[in-house]
Structures are given as C-alpha cells and as structure tokens.
Amino acid sequence: MIIYSCITNGYDEIPDHYYDPDVKYVMYYDGEIEKKGPWEFIHCDREEPNWIKAYYPKCMSHTLFDEPHVWIDGCYKMPPNFVEKSKEFLQNELTLQDHPIPRNIVQEFVKLFRVGFATQDELVTLAQDMMHAGFDPKQYRQSLNCCIWRQNTERVREWNYVYWNWYKNHCQRVDQITSSIADQMVMKSERVPIQIDWHTSTRKKNYNETYTMHVNCGGDMQVEFRDTIKNIFNLRNNPLDTGEEIDGQLIVYTCITNGYDEFPEQSYYDPDVRYVCFHDGTIDTTVGPWEYIELDLDIEDPRDYAFYVKANAHEYFPKNSYTVWIDGCFVLTKDFIKNSMKSFPFSVLRHGGNFSYYDEMLEGFTCAFFKYDDAINLTRVLDKCGYNFKKYSSPQCTILWRKLTDEIEEFNKEWYMWGNQNYNRDNIPFDAAIQNTGIEPKFYENRDESGIDLGFNNKVGRRRLHPQNGDLDQYERQEEFLSDLRKITKLHPKVYAKYDNHEFYMRVFGIIDRQRKEGSSTPAIFSS
C-alpha cells in the first residue's frame, strides 16, 4: 500500500504522523517544503499554477502507482488506525469520505460563489456543461476529498480522467463537484465516514495566498445567483424557498444588554421593515433606523435579561406578527430580508457542525459557559421528562423566524422554561421545546442560505464575550463530565461526541492562555 500527498507553494507543513513500517509514503513537492518523516520526496516539475500542479497527482493517481494507494491532503494528521482502516477501504476499487456537513448541489454552488472560489460566469458555465453532459443534480453526493482510497483498475482510471478533466477545465477549485460528476458518469464510489480530524491541520497559508480569489461575489448578488443555478438545474422548488408568504410588516428585532453588542455600520436596512432593539440603557441609541425600547425587567443577569426578550417575542409584538430575531453583532444584508420573507411560519438554522447532545454540552463546558452541576442537573431533568438525547436537532438560535401564532406562543413559553435553568445557553432548551411541544421548525441545513455571513469571525459588532458562569479549570474534568452524562443519557461518548476538541473557543475565552500564563502544562486534551 502507498500513502501519498502533494504540497506546493509551501501551502502545508507535514504533520507529525504515526508511520507504519510496512507502508510506502510518497510526497510530491515543488521545492518549498521541510523534508521530514519516511516520505520519498519527488519533485513535481509540471508547468502549471500551484493548485493545478498539486491536483494532478491527486486526480491522476493511476499514472503514478500500480499498487493500491491512498491520497491524503498534506495538512491532515493520520491517526494511528489510519493504515488499518485504509487496508479495509482498499478492498473496494474506490472509496471517498462523506462530507460531515452535507450540502445539495445548489448550496455547494452558492458557497463557491459567496467565498469567491470562482466567478459567476465560470460557475454558470460549469452548471450548464454538467446538464448538457447528463448530470442529475438531484443525485449529487457531496464528499470530502482530503482522503481518497483507490486501486489501479480500468474503471478507476476512467473515473480519474473524468475527475481531472472536469477539474482542469472548470474553475479549478471544485473537486467535490467534479468527483460527483465522475461518480455519475463512470462508477459510484463507496463512502465511509470522515477518517481524520478536519478541524485540526498544519495548513500554513490562506486560500488567497495560493489561489486566485474573486471579490464581490456575495451580498446582493447571492440570491440572484442562486436562482440562476436553480433554473439551470431545474430545481426551482428548493425547500429553503418554500414557506408562507407574509401578509404584514416584517419585524427584525434584537436585545442588547451590558454593552454586549453594537450595530455594524455597514448593515443594510430595508425601508419597509420595522427594526426594534430592546436594551437596558447600556448602548448607543443613535445608530441606524432602529426603534430603541429600554426595558425595566426584574432580571439581574444581563444574559437572562436578553434571553427573556429573545424567547418571549409574543409579549412584545401583536399576535400573528412576522418576527425575526437576530443577534445584534452581525451585518444585515438585503439577501437576509429576501430570505426572511420566505422563512415563515417558523424557521431556524442548523448548527454548522451538526452537533450531538454531547458536542453541544462539551463546547459550553470546556469554555466554562456553565457550571458542571448545572449541566448535569439539566440533563437529569430532561431525562425524567422523556427527552430523547439521540434526536438532538442541533439548532443554532442566532436567527429565528417566527409568526406569532398561539402555537408559537406555546413553543416560546416552553423554550423559556427550559432556558431558565441556570444553564446559560439556549440551543438545548430550544430542542427540548421542539420535543415537548411537537412544534417543529424548518431548518436551514446550510446557515449561509440565511443571507447573513455567520460564524465567530463575522461577529463584527460583538464587544463582550459570552458570560462564563463555570469554573475556568473545569475542562480538566472532561472525561468525568462525559462519564456522568453517559450515566444519564446511556449514549456512548465514542459514538456521540464527534467534536471532543474545542481548542479554538477555549483560546477565545481565555481558558488555554490563562492556563499557560499561570505556568501549567498544556491541557491533556490538546497534548497530542
């Protein structure tokens, strides 16, 4: 068996892998690499841009190896069981990984457009050529191609040619799409779950340091582009476009306490939309067209104060109002308003990581958002009430679309009840309200479809961090915490704790830096 990769333009650094003595390791490079490990280093002399130069060996593997072979992107660390798993997967002709955050074909095109990987013309041409070639967009199978397991067979060679030619001749950053084209035109790949930790890498450069990125591909153009792609693929009835047409004024509202957020200057405001900001007197009330309403709630904790308003929209707006909650730190866009018009009577985002119950708990626990005992007690109460931990829906309550019907009022009250349990988070309480009321929202499976650039780095107006009510050292009790949760939920952490490493947020919230500043060793969960 051969495991191979290619690093060009100093894009990646070779991780500290576990190496199997019975495996041959081959690394293609262009001269900008630190040579380490048992790799056979082979200089890549192709006269192409760096990204195409790297993709040729990735796509055309049969020209390099007669033996069964495994591609791995140069930045990802091979776990100790990688070789044994690879032997298993190589019993098939061709094996790819399922993407952990699946998107349909329209969502994939919109993402490529939004982040600037390709121009509108390039992507439109690609979509048109796919349809002319007989591609079925409804059968699109998204993969994560940082690992590929192949034998050198006739069908694999044909698959490789299709994979490479569509990549080389269209956009050159769409290999997840072109592998799906090869799947349909030649042979269907076998699929396995992701085999590496794709959240941790040794990537040294950003995309724009290697690729030609295109600007001005988002904003007002995104909805128009999406509709163009849908028309080409004959997918005009995308579930995200269904929903009740509103027959009243749209109300966008938020609540800011303790100076937590300020409104970004670059936000778009629609003249036909009512914008309402509830607050506690700690913010600048002169920004934008917001209707500022200072409340005098008998709630001391600023987070609980804001959550009361967030959950109980029915107390502040008339029945049947079309309300959209959004955290106050994000840049508002015209696309956001357009999409909001199609998101009623009830919609919410799916978390980008599609968290399990354990994942959600661990993120907050390791960052000390809540106390150990409060999380355990909430879990016990949920269990007593018949909550199904396996069915956690992973909502992200950054944006909520609600028509304030009697049914939604019932949901709101249930959500607030579960969120008022000293837990200091609202996603699990939201899911508890779904299960207990039977009122289910429509989920945006890809949060980018909301029209807002979400994610931590896009919280432009955030001025304070999420309150930390827990012990800053409690992350050291992670194994004990999972063990106690398991006693209640009966779920095995190895199956239901996909993301047991929350280093990014632990750094943001000062857990790791504080620990290092005090002279302690690196936390065990990061020692590898």
Least confident interval from 47-61, 409-423, 467-481, 485-499 = 47-61
Backbone φ and ψ for 350, nearest 5 degrees, come out as -90, 135
Q: Looking at the domain assignment, is residue 198 inside a domain?
A: yes
CB 68 within 8 A of CB 2: yes
Question: What's the rounded mean pLDDT across residues 51-80?
Answer: 90
Same domain, 46 and 146: yes
Between vectors from CA 245 to CA 406 and to CA 220, what angle results, nearest 5°? 125
CB 277 within 8 A of CB 255: yes
The string of DSSP letters for 312-351 reads -GGGTS-TT-EEEEE-TTSPP-HHHHHHHTTSBSEEEEEP
The Cα 151–Cα 154 span in angstroms is 9
Between vectors from CA 74 to CA 71 and to CA 75, what angle results, nearest 5°? 130
Same domain, 72 and 199: yes
Out of 404, 429, 458, a domain closes at: 458
Out of 205, 222, 237, a domain closes at: 205
Token duo for residue 341: 């018009």
Q: Looking at the domain assignment, is residue 317 inside a domain?
A: yes
Query: Predicted confidence band at 108 (pLDDT cuts at 50, 70, 90)?
Result: confident
Same domain, 280 and 339: yes
The Cα 149–Cα 97 span in angstroms is 9
What's the pLDDT at 518? 43
CATH number at 447 reads 3.90.550
Q: Which residues contact 350 (CB under 8 A, 6 or more apart)?
A: 393, 394, 395, 396, 443, 444, 445, 446, 447
pLDDT, one tens digit per residue, over 124-169 is 999 999 999 999 998 998 899 999 999 999 999 999 999 999 998 8
Q: Looking at the domain assignment, is residue 471 inside a domain?
A: no
Query: Predicted confidence band at 49 (pLDDT cuts at 50, 70, 90)?
Result: low
What's the pLDDT at 515? 46
The string of DSSP letters for 161-214 reads HHHHHHHHHTTSS-HHHHHHHHHHHT-PPEEE---S-TT---B-S-GGGTS---
CATH number at 9 reads 3.90.550.10
Task: Tell which wins on pLDDT, 194 or 242.
Answer: 194
What's the pLDDT at 215? 53
Q: In what order do the strands lie in the sheet with 24-29?
A: 40-43, 24-29, 2-7, 69-72, 143-150, 94-98, 190-192
Q: Looking at the domain assignment, is residue 479 inside a domain?
A: no
Q: Looking at the domain assignment, is residue 437 inside a domain?
A: yes
**Percent of the chain at pLDDT exceeding 70:** 89
Out of 423, 458, 493, a domain closes at: 458
Specify the DSSP class assigned to residue 37: S
Least confident interval from 216-225, 243-252, 321-330, 482-491 = 216-225
Task: Tell which wins on pLDDT, 448 or 501.
Answer: 448
Same domain, 94 and 21: yes
Q: What is the mean pLDDT of the chain?
A: 86
- Distances in Å between the Cα of 31 and the Cα atoms of 11, 208, 444 are 11, 20, 44
pLDDT, one tens digit per residue, over 370-389 is 999 999 999 999 999 999 99
pLDDT, one tens digit per residue, over 15-34 is 988 899 999 999 999 877 88
Same domain, 179 and 262: no
Q: Report the relative pairing of strands 346-350 and 395-403 from DSSP bridges.
A: antiparallel
Backbone φ and ψ for 2, nearest 5 degrees, come out as -120, 130
Same domain, 260 and 181: no
Same domain, 347 and 413: yes
Q: Looking at the domain assignment, is residue 469 inside a domain?
A: no
What's the pLDDT at 213? 54
What's the pLDDT at 241? 41
Same domain, 201 and 254: no
Q: In what order do the strands lie in the sheet with 322-326?
A: 291-294, 274-279, 250-256, 322-326, 395-403, 346-350, 442-444
What's the pLDDT at 520? 40
Q: Which residues contact 382 (CB under 8 A, 6 or more apart)?
A: 389, 428, 432
Same domain, 300 and 425: yes
CB 386 within 8 A of CB 432: no
Buried b (16+ CB within 10 A) or exposed e, 419-443: bebebbbbbbbbbbbbbbbebebbb
Token duo for residue 459: 């919280």
Look at the block and give the residue holding tokens 């060793």: 521
Same domain, 39 and 185: yes
Q: Looking at the domain assignment, is residue 339 inside a domain?
A: yes
Task: Tell which wins on pLDDT, 224 or 85.
Answer: 85
What's the pLDDT at 488? 97
Per-residue pLDDT at 210 exceeds 90: no
Q: Looking at the domain assignment, is residue 447 inside a domain?
A: yes
Domain carrying residue 91: 2-102+142-205
Per-residue pLDDT at 99 exceeds 90: no
Query: Predicted confidence band at 217 (pLDDT cuts at 50, 70, 90)?
Result: very low
Task: Tell which wins on pLDDT, 146 or 119.
Answer: 146
Same domain, 269 and 404: yes
Same domain, 196 and 280: no
Q: Give the number of domains in the chain.
A: 2
